[in-house]
């Protein structure tokens, strides 16, 4: 009987523990020797094969490293998943495109030293308390505006808008022609609602004061201040004038992108990653891209540099984890793959994208290169992840605020007050 | 003596252990967290007493979530119950067609709520099949089922009702099978018509079915999270469809305020427990023994 009881307890314990294990896909371990765990995420662009091949290229060069691949249950929820893993004592050794804020302050992440960052174009991007925790692997311009050249031509819009007034004039012509000027989304992918707002705040506020968000953290400025409310008003006016379809706030990201590719709207403000799909899906019209217009036409390009790997400070094989992360991020084939699959702009010194990229990617990359030359790049509001970023939990609030302005449910003043209230709660 | 003790332990202990580990311990730990400012990314933890609870009842976002959850719960308890009873009465007859229809009504219950959410979000999209059909019928501006903040909550509730309807139908059908035929025949001989027979015989004997359906729907509706997360993410706008369960996860895992989120979870637990106990007590009074 004693054996039965012991066996029962053992089986229950085993079943319980099995239920608590992190998902590791079949065949997700490669290499040998020093084992590290690596948290990835999958999207239509970033498939299991993409990750497996990328890991194999690194382990082929470093056979002493053995990689156990983990997959976040959802792409958008990868940072929340990393938090759950940390709290259950299963924090991965290496994670990609997971926001370092919070983990870094809690001492959970390894801080890269300048020598390790020497190959990166912007080694001082995203400091957290003066240290650098995420490899600044790539840059994303957020949001350039992609447009349907045929709908522009049909509406008599000639040339790409550079100033806000030119953008409004183009939108008016498109609307008069019966075309929805801006394609936006929302639903479970709230960021698709706030893209235009991110562009306005970045160009209008950050263009004049790059430290605006840092000052918000220090309570020197507020969302209710006149300049931020002016940005909210510009955004609300687009909806009031009928340039944004209010019914689109429930449409998820995939459906939003498809709507633009199906010609259901003329302009699509989205991150430069859209270029990968724009080039591969080949819609029935040509797609152009221009920088988010500014009030006076001055060149200001909102962008975010980061998106790379972070390494657990408590990794069992820290040396192998660091070596893997750097080798992964600097692998030329991997960089080329990230350009083609996800439209990324690798921020690696001396790197040039493959010659066979599509026209939309090339056009967007040229805009970005010109902005770098002119020193006209600012951070993108809502997308920053470091000391100059929104507080944890605030990105959803910004998306909700954008939706309230689009639907007209709240006034500009109410939205500004809402953001300040939520900011105080998020502290 | 010892063999009896081992016998008891081997059968009783696993269940008790699982209950303690996976039910009681999380509740106790959550309650402790709710009395602290616990933020895993901002240590150390400090005891704050009942402060989280005081803040909670001044928090407009939480009060809105409470209102949203209450509306959703009322709809989800009433509509599937009423429709489920009607459908069960129609399907309570022999024949292959009725058997097939029972399966049809039960199918949504076995589907994943995430799958159901994705399907319905496509159907209710502004450019989706429903609005396309309405436009075909001549409706120029069909409702923004999920994009209008005044409509989205009711659309969401309808989706939950649609999925739960089959469960209610099956429970009521089981109850109807238990109604003795001789009672119905006796009532008919006494001159009772169909409506009177239903009110005087069938309905009182369906009381246990009503209790089961109401309690299950009440608890399911109150903890609604997945539909909200997949379909609206709490929007459109701030809090239009955000339930308490949705806010608990957003506050705990996105904003990292685990202490505050735990206070929300404890309040939610208490509300569900009290409401369920009261409803159970009231409904069980109606139940009659044959």
Query: For the segment B258-290, what is each residue's pLDDT rounded down to a tens digit?
Result: 999 999 999 999 999 999 999 999 988 877 655
Q: In chain B, what residues touch A265 (CB-CB under 8 Å)? A: none
Residue B276 CA to residue B263 CA, distance in Å, equals 20
pLDDT in the model for residue A31: 56
Q: Note whether A392 contacts B231, CB cutoff 8 Å.
A: no
Of A2, A12, A105, the CB nearest to B6: A2
Q: Do A250 and B251 touch (CB under 8 A)?
A: no
> Which domains can be identified in chain B, with CATH numbers?
59-286 (1.10.3720.10)
Supply the mean pLDDT for chain B. 92
pLDDT at residue B158 in the model:
97
DSSP A264-310: S-SEEE--TTHHHHHHHH--SS-EEEEPPPBSS----EEEEEEE-EE
- In angstroms, rounded to a whole number, what is the distance separating the alpha carbons of residues A391 and A409? 25
Q: Which chain B residue's Cα is nearest to A16?
A: B18
Q: CB–CB of A404 and B238 under 8 A? A: yes
Strands A34-40 and A65-71: parallel
Cβ of B41 within 8 Å of Cβ of A401? The answer is no
Instruction: Return the beta strands (E) in A112-234 as ranges.
Output: 136-141, 145-148
C-alpha separations of A42 from A55, A73, A143, B54, B169 in Å: 14, 9, 23, 42, 39
Residues in chain B: 290
Neighbours of A74 (CB within 10 A): 14
| pLDDT one digit per residue (tens) for chain A, 427 residues | 444 444 444 444 443 444 444 445 434 555 567 999 999 998 777 889 989 999 999 999 999 999 999 999 877 778 888 988 998 899 999 999 998 988 998 899 999 999 999 999 999 888 998 999 999 999 999 999 999 999 999 999 999 999 999 999 999 999 999 999 999 999 888 999 999 999 999 999 999 999 999 999 999 999 999 999 999 999 999 999 999 999 999 998 888 999 999 999 999 999 999 999 999 988 999 999 999 999 999 999 999 998 899 999 999 999 999 999 999 999 999 999 889 888 999 999 999 999 999 999 999 999 999 999 999 999 999 999 888 899 988 999 999 999 999 999 999 999 999 999 999 998 8
C-beta atoms of B253 and A188 within 8 A: no
Q: Encoding tokens for residue A310? A: 């972070």
* Sign of the dihedral defined by the CA atoms of residues A22, A28, A29, A31, in that order: negative
> Under an 8 A CB cutoff, do B254 and A392 touch?
yes
Instruction: Give the full edge-to-edge strand order of the sheet including A65-71.
Output: A24-31, A65-71, A34-40, A94-96, A309-311
Contacts of B125 in chain A (CB under 8 A): 250-251, 255
**Minimal Cβ distance to B14: which of A12, A87, A264:** A12
- Domains of chain A in sequence order: 23-141+305-363 (3.40.190.10), 145-270+390-426 (3.40.190.10)
Using CB atoms, pick whichever of A187, A249, A400 lies closest to residue B231: A187
CB pairs A-B closer than 8 Å: 145
Strand order of the β-sheet with A267-269 is A267-269, A145-148, A287-290
Which residues of B fall within a CB distance of 8 Å from A106? Answer: 40-43
Between chains, do A404 and B42 touch, taking CB under 8 Å as contact?
Answer: no
3-class SS at B115? helix
Q: What is the model's pTM?
A: 0.87
Sheet of A301-307, strand order = A345-346, A136-141, A301-307, A377-379
ipTM over 0.95: no
* Nearest CB to B254; choose among A186, A252, A393: A393
Of B231, B235, B238, the CB nearest to A249: B235
Lookup result for tokens 């156990």: A68
User: Measured between CB atoms, which of A1, A187, A410 is closest to B10?
Assistant: A1
Q: What SS3 state is found at A25?
A: strand
Beta strands in A174-281 (DSSP E): 267-269
Chain A environment of B261 (Cβ under 8 Å):
none
CA distance to A141, A142, A174, A405, per residue, from A291 (Å): 9, 9, 19, 23
State yes or no: pLDDT of B95 exceeds 90: no
The two structure tokens encoding residue A134: 């995420």
Torsion of CA A9, A12, A16, A17, to 10 degrees: 60
Q: What is the mean pLDDT of residues B241-260?
A: 93
Tokens of A118: 């020497």
Q: Do B21 and A410 touch (CB under 8 A)?
A: no
Compute the average pLDDT of residues B50-76.
95
Question: What is the separation, in whole angstroms, between the first and last Cα of chain A?
Answer: 56
Q: How many angstroms separate the CA of residue B232 from the nearest CA in chain A?
A: 5
Work out the end-to-end distance of chain B between its first and last CA atoms, rounded to an integer number of angstroms: 43
Three-class HEC string of B220-264: HHHCCCHHHHHHHCCCCCCCCCCCHHHHHHHHHHHCCCHHHHHHH
Chain A residues touching B235 at Cβ < 8 A: 186-187, 190, 193, 249-250, 399-400, 403
Average pLDDT estimate for B40-69: 92
Confidence bin at B1 (pLDDT 50/70/90): low
Beta strand pairing call for A377-379 and A301-307: parallel
């Amino acid at each position: 009987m004693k054996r039965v009881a012991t066996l029962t307890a053992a089986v229950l314990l085993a079943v319980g523990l099995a239920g608590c294990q992190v998902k590791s896909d079949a065949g997700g371990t490669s290499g040998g020797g020093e084992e590290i765990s690596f948290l990835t995420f999958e999207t239509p662009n970033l498939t299991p094969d993409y990750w497996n091949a990328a890991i194999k290229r690194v382990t082929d060069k470093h056979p002493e490293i053995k990689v156990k691949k983990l997959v976040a249950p959802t792409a958008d929820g990868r940072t929340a998943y990393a938090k759950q893993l940390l709290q259950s004592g299963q924090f991965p050794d290496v994670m990609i495109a997971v926001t370092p804020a919070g983990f870094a302050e809690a001492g959970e992440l390894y801080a890269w030293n300048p020598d390790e960052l020497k190959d990166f174009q912007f080694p001082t991007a995203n400091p957290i308390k003066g240290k650098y925790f995420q490899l600044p692997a790539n840059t994303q311009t957020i949001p350039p505006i992609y447009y349907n050249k045929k709908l522009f031509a049909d509406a008599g819009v000639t040339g790409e808008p550079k100033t806000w007034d030119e953008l409004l004039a183009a939108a008016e012509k498109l609307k008069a022609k019966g075309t929805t000027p801006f394609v936006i989304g929302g639903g479970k992918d709230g960021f698709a609602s706030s893209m235009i707002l991110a562009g306005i705040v970045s160009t209008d506020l950050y263009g004049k004061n790059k430290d605006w968000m840092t000052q918000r953290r220090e309570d020197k400025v507020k969302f209710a201040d006149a300049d931020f409310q002016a940005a909210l008003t510009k955004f609300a006016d687009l909806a009031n004038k009928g340039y944004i379809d209010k019914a689109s706030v429930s449409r998820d990201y995939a459906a939003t992108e498809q709507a633009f590719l199906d010609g259901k709207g003329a302009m699509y403000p989205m991150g430069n990653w859209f270029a990968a799909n724009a080039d591969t899906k080949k819609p029935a019209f040509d797609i152009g891209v221009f920088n988010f217009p500014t009030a006076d036409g001055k060149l200001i390009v909102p962008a975010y540099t980061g998106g790379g790997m972070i390494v657990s400070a408590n990794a069992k094989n820290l040396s192998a984890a660091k070596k893997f992360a750097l080798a992964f991020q600097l692998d030329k084939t991997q960089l080329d793959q990230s350009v083609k699959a996800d439209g990324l702009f690798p921020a690696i010194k001396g790197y040039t994208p493959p010659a066979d990229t599509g026209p939309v990617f090339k056009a967007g990359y040229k805009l970005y290169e010109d902005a770098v030359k002119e020193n006209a790049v600012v951070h993108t509001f809502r997308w920053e992840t470091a000391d100059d970023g929104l507080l944890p939990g605030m990105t959803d609030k910004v998306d909700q605020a954008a939706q309230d302005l689009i639907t007209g449910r709240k006034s500009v003043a109410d939205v500004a007050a809402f953001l300040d209230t939520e900011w105080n709660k998020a502290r | 003596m010892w063999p009896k003790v081992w016998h008891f332990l081997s059968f009783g202990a696993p269940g008790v252990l699982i209950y303690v580990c996976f039910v009681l311990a999380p509740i106790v730990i959550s309650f402790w967290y709710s009395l602290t400012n616990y933020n895993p990314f901002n240590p150390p933890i400090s005891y704050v007493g009942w402060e989280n609870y005081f803040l909670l009842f001044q928090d407009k976002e939480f009060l809105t979530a409470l209102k949203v959850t209450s509306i959703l719960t009322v709809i989800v308890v009433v509509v599937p119950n009423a429709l489920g009873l009607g459908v069960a009465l129609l399907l309570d007859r022999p024949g292959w067609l009725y058997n097939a229809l029972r399966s049809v009504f039960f199918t949504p219950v076995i589907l994943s709520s995430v799958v159901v959410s994705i399907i319905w979000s496509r159907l209710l999209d502004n450019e989706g099949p429903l609005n396309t059909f309405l436009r075909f019928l001549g409706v120029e501006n069909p409702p923004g089922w999920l994009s209008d903040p005044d409509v989205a909550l009711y659309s969401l509730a309808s989706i939950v009702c649609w999925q739960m309807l089959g469960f209610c139908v099956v429970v009521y059908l089981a109850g109807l099978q238990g109604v003795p035929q001789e009672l119905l025949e006796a009532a008919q001989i006494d001159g009772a018509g169909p409506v009177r027979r239903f009110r005087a015989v069938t309905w009182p004997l369906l009381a246990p079915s009503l209790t089961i359906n109401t309690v299950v729907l009440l608890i399911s509706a109150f903890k609604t999270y997945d539909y909200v997360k997949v379909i609206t993410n709490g929007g459109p706008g701030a809090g239009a469809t955000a339930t308490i369960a949705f806010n608990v996860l957003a506050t705990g895992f996105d904003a990292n305020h685990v202490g505050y989120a735990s206070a929300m979870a404890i309040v939610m637990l208490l509300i569900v427990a009290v409401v369920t106990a009261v409803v159970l007590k009231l409904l069980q009074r109606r139940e009659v023994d044959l």
